[in-house]
A and B are shown apart, each in its own frame.
Chain A
Amino acid sequence: MIFGLPVISVAIWLPIVFGVLVLATGNDKNAPLARILALVGGVLGFLVTLPLYIGFDVTTSAMQFEEMHNWINRFNIHYHLGVDGISMLFILLNSFFTPLVVLAGWKVIEKRVAQYMAAFLIMSGIVNGVFAALDSILFYVFWEAMLIPMFIIIGVWGGPNRVYAAMKFFLYTLLGSLLMLVSLIYLYNLSGGSFSILDFQQLGHIPMQAQILIFIAFFFAFAVKVPMFPVHTWLPDAHVEAPTGGSVVLAAIMLKVGAYGFLRFSMPITPDASHKLAGVMIALSLIAIVYIGLVALKQSDMKKLVAYSSISHMGFVTLGFFIFNAYGMEGAIMQMLSHGFVAGALFLCIGVLYDRVHSREISAYGGVANKMPVFAAFFMLFAMANSGLPGTSAFVGEFMVIMGAVKVNFWYAFAAASTLIFGAAYTLWMYKRVIFGAVANHHVAELTDINGREKLIFIILAIFVLGMGVYPLPFGEILHVSVNDLLIHMTQSKL
């Protein structure tokens, strides 16, 4: 409780309220006020999530900080919130990024400042809702609502081809979601009139055919968001066109809700279908890792390259889920967290360059290290993290997933471990062409190193990337009980 208010509700509604306040500052005359208000909202929004971490009980997999109110009685729909070891960390991650994104857009966004800042704040609250919702309709509402601010962010503040990208993003994800709604309604009937996710999970008997259909419906909703091969092509376009802040949130947060969906819905509700279709899921994950890793190699646009690398890294997440062991699943969740930091940081790095040169093409750069040594050092750290170097957060997840995969099938691990080579190749080749070498052109020659504001953002991210790599235990401890419970739950057939 914060000042007598329930923690999760505050985490959801405080950023939204601030978002509305920021909107109320109106046009760009009040831009400075809007920025400050947004930053205050973002920081407060993060601070109010800290009680979740402090008060969290790691010994139980039951939902904590639960809130339950009637919402739509006619259909037995509730305003039901709660977190467990799986969802709690993502609320923190999401709230953590909001002030960073506000800071990142501090100077760069000059038009419609209030609206820009408000979109991120509102989005932050909505995403917290996605992670905390325990009623499936509430989840669905948040899930769809999340699209709107992102659609606006890409469509309004994006690049030249923003309308195509925004539409593609919207249609892709909406199409997936509709099938999810169908299966939610089916489950409502099956459970005898409940929309509670927990009730769905406890359903004792679902025939195989129904399970498979439900699984496929959920799959479309979640796989698009992850995104899994072959429904990934919206991501590179969306990233390329989105403003820096949009890319950061997209990579750090939005991709995680898809993977989270698998853990919260697909796997516990349809364990038998999950097992039956695991082969397909693993195959798609491995294709994502290898195929997308290769595709990333020759991208000429930095953002596209990092976008493809995100897809490849998310392949590790889905691989970790569907090998059904603790190494894999905990590794996958660690990978989700780490990818938030690393991909977010990389998009911020590209943003720093883009703000100065206004190009994302690798060939427009060369020898940046000569002019921006401090930036080059940070970029190096995050590039190495993207290559999965031990001591950075990314290693934990990749290592654990590979360890888990060997247990199941050596060749899964073989394919997954190829990321050691490809990941390093595409990341460091890009780094080499952008940062190293002699000063390539007059744009690079005129570059100035990062300022205090940018440095602050990078220092915060660097601390997390290194801290989580050197000492991931505290993160892991939060997951254990929930993950183990999920794995046990998965072994109980519902046929």
Chain B
Amino acid sequence: MDIQTLYLIVPLAPLFGAICAGLFGKWLGRKMSHRITIAMVGLSLYAAVKIFLDVMDGHSFDGPVYTWFNSGGTSFHVGFLIDRLTAVMMLVVTSVSLMVHIYTIGYMEEDDGYQRFFSYISLFTFSMLMLVMANNFMQLFFGWEAVGLVSYLLIGFWYKRPTAIYANLKAFLVNRVGDFGFILGIGLVLMVFGTLNYADVFANVAAHADDIAPIGGMHVNMITAICILLFIGAMGKSAQFPLHVWLPDSMEGPTPISALIHAATMVTAGIFMVSRMSPMFELSDTALSFVMIIGAITALFMGFLGIIQNDIKRVIAYSTLSQLGYMTVALGASAYSVAIFHLMTHAFFKALLFLGAGSVIMGMHHDQDIRNMGGLRKYMPITWITSLIGSLALIGTPFFSGFYSKDSIIEAVEYSHLPGSGFAYFAVVAGVFITAFYSFRMYFLVFHGEERFGKAHAHDEHPSTSSGHTVAADAQAHDAHDSHADAHDDYAEEDEHEHHGLAPGQKPHETPWVVWLPLVLLAIPSVVIGYIAVEPMLFGNYFKEAIYIAEHHEALAHMNAEFNGAFDMAFHSLLSLPFFLALAGVASSWFFYMKRPDIPAAIQKRFQWIYTLLDNKYYFDRFNDWFFAGGARGASTFLSRFGDKVLIDGLLVNGSANLVGKISGIVRRFQSGYIYHYAFTMITGVFVLLTIRNWF
């Protein structure tokens, strides 16, 4: 088949599937809907593999598909740029998406919105592919917003839950804050370069390296301004501090989408975007520094929050935040290929971890609290092994995929000389310990130790639907009072229990094959992809022209000089600091949660304020709800009551009407209808006129 036809098939096949399942799902029924969507995503994956092989042969493509709009001498196209960066992303997106599609058959089996769900995830696949395949900023923005839309729809998939529809609105709005910066960045690009095509922009970017941006009275370097504005978009989408607040709440959505959207693909869009813009970011050390510091803050501080979470999905969500921080740090260190590498390995092992968590949740009958689990390895062996593999990959165990990418990030930061790189280095190294600690805390609590399920717990003794309804009603009443934020998390936890949990005496069970097969298939790359890909991707000049690195940013060159093969890299790391830190993290979590579970409780008591701070997620949600949401609502009430009702309508509109009324009320008195009044007035008038006439 013609390669250009394949380019079209990659995004359009999932779109076709989405339309079928979405519009005709009722007629097609459940089976046909998932067959069509899975076949379409499979076709898309097939095409993506073909394209990948073609790209490996040295081909690339950059051209328009159709003209979207013409204005002011500028053409806006929908078009594809297929190079090695795109090819990797296409592979990751389509393969993870296919796994998630298959998994969904099992996970959503009992849900009424079965076809709707398949339609959404196929639509997401389409949107994400449009994003990565774009050859211009306009289409990038289209994909950017479209994935945001699907994310919104999926977080709120269970639209009856007050927490879900709170979380999806929050996710959309926080993302919009990022997009606000993003679109202004695009505006500056168009202003400076007169085009939105990547190729034309990147070709001319050097000529504008010293332009000054006309932003008010500020004298900012134009490229810096553009890069930071674009990166603000990435901060929203890739959940970087301080726009990270939406990601933990997004766990309200069904687990398959947490894997697909909020771990493997959509949240990495920001990382991809910055890598794509490497020719621009490379010209601004300020922007790179900014990127690195934001990434380091996210990597470190979000990791802390993972330690105290008890919801299995939230633990993984904070780990995702932290890993996204790692990728961002790599971007700041000009190690774009390392960031993409970590993005790829992370996509596989994090999707694996999430789907494993979903499998656990199914086994536990929709109980997500890890305090109610324990000893699951006996009952769910496949889930156990695959989750162990995922966790080992995540903490960077040598020879696992996560090791190669994470270790490369640490090394790259070590060689970076930008302001902030010292802090970033500390953050990523300390992050290793924290990652190992919270990952294995969860792992031990879920799969090892005492079996805590099936017991009556004080806080889930209300599984009856009626109490579930009360909670929902409560939360809605709360919502109406505009202060849904405070108690929000309590509701989240309680709400989960609306979906039962294991009854006393009941045992968890392994999940059906449609659920565990994707786990196995994802476990394979989680182990081997790092070993295979590290050499070609980081040091084999895999990305060629797709990524540009300025000469004075030499981290990757240094690493290249020291690199002696994948085996050697892992072998040497056995004596390095990160490995010991990871080991220490695992050991201490074993000690704290398996051996001496009384110690964490004691620590929690002793350092109550730290616990409170972490439990409240550094008070970001509270602040945002009070300041931004509350502030906007307050301003709205004030402007609407005072501005529109009192000032404009009251004073000006009705005021002028009243004025006319009053004047006419006075004037009306002259029209009394009595002839002698008129006669008197006339006579007086005549006298006055005569007097004036004679006087002058």
Q: Is B183's CB under 8 angstroms from A294's CB?
A: no
Q: A411: nearest residue on chain B (CB-CB)?
A: B216
Residues of A within 8 A of B187 (CB): 402-403, 405-407, 413
Q: Is A384's CB under 8 angstroms from B149's CB?
A: yes
Q: Is B653's CB under 8 angstroms from A418's CB?
A: no
Q: Is B552 an interface residue (CB 8 A)?
A: no
Q: Is A494 an interface residue (CB 8 A)?
A: no
Residues of B within 8 A of A369 (CB): 159
In the bound complex, CA of A387 to CA of B68 (Å):
20
Given contacts A295-B640, A297-B636, contact A233 B649 (CB under 8 A): yes
Min CB gap A419→B, angstroms = 9
Q: Is B504 an interface residue (CB 8 A)?
A: no
In the bound complex, CA of A406 to CA of B469 (Å):
50
Min CB gap A391→B, angstroms = 6
Residues of A within 8 A of B145 (CB): 389-391, 395
In this complex, which of A409, A418, A472, A477 has the most chain B Cβ atoms within 10 angstroms of its Cβ?
Answer: A472
Q: Is A71 an interface residue (CB 8 A)?
A: no
Query: Which of B174-233 touch A at CB < 8 Å?
Result: 176-177, 179-180, 183-184, 186-188, 190-191, 213-216
Query: Which of B72-114 touch A at CB < 8 Å?
Result: 72-74
Q: B633: nearest residue on chain A (CB-CB)?
A: A298
Contact of A367 among B144, B160, B183, B216 (CB under 8 A): B160
Per-residue 0/1 for A432-462: is the Cβ within 8 Å of any B Cβ (1 yes, 0 no)? Answer: 1101111010000000000000000000000
Q: Is A391's CB under 8 angstroms from B216's CB?
A: no
In the bound complex, CA of A396 to CA of B141 (Å):
12
Q: Is B183's CB under 8 angstroms from A230's CB?
A: no
Residues of B within 8 A of A296 (CB): 636
Min CB gap A307→B, angstroms = 11
Q: Is A5 an interface residue (CB 8 A)?
A: no
In the bound complex, CA of A487 to CA of B366 (Å):
63
Given contacts A391-B142, A411-B216, contact A295 B636 (CB under 8 A): yes
Number of interface residues of A (CB under 8 A): 67
Query: Which of A55-98 touch B at CB < 8 Å?
Result: none
Residues of A within 8 A of B67 (CB): 473
Q: Is B632 an interface residue (CB 8 A)?
A: yes
Q: Is B214's CB under 8 angstroms from A410's CB?
A: yes
In the bound complex, CA of A168 to CA of B649 (Å):
10
Q: B165: nearest residue on chain A (CB-CB)?
A: A436
Q: A484: nearest residue on chain B (CB-CB)?
A: B72
Q: Is B169's CB under 8 angstroms from A389's CB?
A: no
Q: Which of A10-18, A136-144, A278-286, A420-428 contacts B (4 or more CB under 8 A)?
A: A420-428
In this complex, which of B67, B180, B213, B640 has the most chain A Cβ atoms within 10 angstroms of its Cβ?
Answer: B640
Per-residue 0/1 for A275-309: is the Cβ within 8 Å of any B Cβ (1 yes, 0 no)? Answer: 00000000000000001001111110000000000
Q: Is B473 an interface residue (CB 8 A)?
A: yes
Min CB gap B278→A, angstroms = 23
Min CB gap B475→A, angstroms = 9
Q: Is B159's CB under 8 angstroms from A424's CB?
A: no
Min CB gap A112→B, angstroms = 29
Given contacts A327-B71, A330-B71, A420-B180, contact A299 B640 (CB under 8 A): yes
Given contacts A299-B640, A370-B160, contact A473 B216 (CB under 8 A): no
In the bound complex, CA of A438 to CA of B470 (Å):
11
Min CB gap B673→A, angstroms = 28
In this complex, which of B180, B213, B636, B657 has the most chain A Cβ atoms within 10 angstroms of its Cβ?
Answer: B636
Q: B188: nearest residue on chain A (CB-CB)?
A: A406
Q: Is A424's CB under 8 angstroms from B173's CB?
A: yes
Q: Is A23 an interface residue (CB 8 A)?
A: no
Given contacts A331-B71, A363-B480, contact A403 B190 (CB under 8 A): yes
In the bound complex, CA of A232 to CA of B644 (Å):
9
Residues of B within 8 A of A171 (CB): 657
Q: Is A230's CB under 8 angstroms from B652's CB?
A: yes
Q: Is A326 an interface residue (CB 8 A)?
A: yes
Q: Is A249 an interface residue (CB 8 A)?
A: no
Contact of B169 among A291, A325, A367, A429 (CB under 8 A): A429
Q: Is B257 an interface residue (CB 8 A)?
A: no
Q: Is A432's CB under 8 angstroms from B640's CB?
A: no
Q: Is A186 an interface residue (CB 8 A)?
A: no
Contact of A421 among B180, B472, B653 (CB under 8 A): B180
Q: Is B547 an interface residue (CB 8 A)?
A: no
Q: Is B183's CB under 8 angstroms from A417's CB?
A: yes
In this complex, which of A369, A400, A428 has the most chain B Cβ atoms within 10 angstroms of its Cβ?
Answer: A428
In the bound complex, CA of A413 to CA of B186 (Å):
11
Q: Is B138 an interface residue (CB 8 A)?
A: yes
Q: Is A471's CB under 8 angstroms from B68's CB?
A: yes
Q: Is B639 an interface residue (CB 8 A)?
A: yes
Residues of B within 8 A of A232 (CB): 648
Q: Is B636's CB under 8 angstroms from A325's CB?
A: no
Q: B652: nearest residue on chain A (CB-CB)?
A: A230
Q: B145: nearest residue on chain A (CB-CB)?
A: A390
Q: Is B173's CB under 8 angstroms from A437's CB?
A: no
Contact of A389 among B74, B149, B473, B644 (CB under 8 A): B149
Q: List 29 A-B contacts (CB under 8 A).
A: A230-B652, A233-B644, A236-B644, A294-B635, A295-B643, A297-B633, A298-B636, A330-B71, A366-B476, A367-B160, A369-B159, A370-B160, A389-B145, A389-B149, A399-B183, A406-B184, A406-B191, A407-B187, A407-B190, A414-B184, A425-B173, A425-B176, A428-B172, A429-B169, A437-B476, A438-B473, A473-B67, A473-B70, A477-B70
Question: Known pairs A291-B643, A295-B643, A326-B71. 19 more at Cβ < 8 A?
Answer: A232-B648, A234-B653, A297-B632, A363-B480, A384-B149, A390-B141, A402-B183, A403-B191, A406-B190, A406-B191, A413-B187, A414-B184, A420-B180, A420-B183, A421-B180, A424-B173, A436-B159, A437-B165, A437-B472
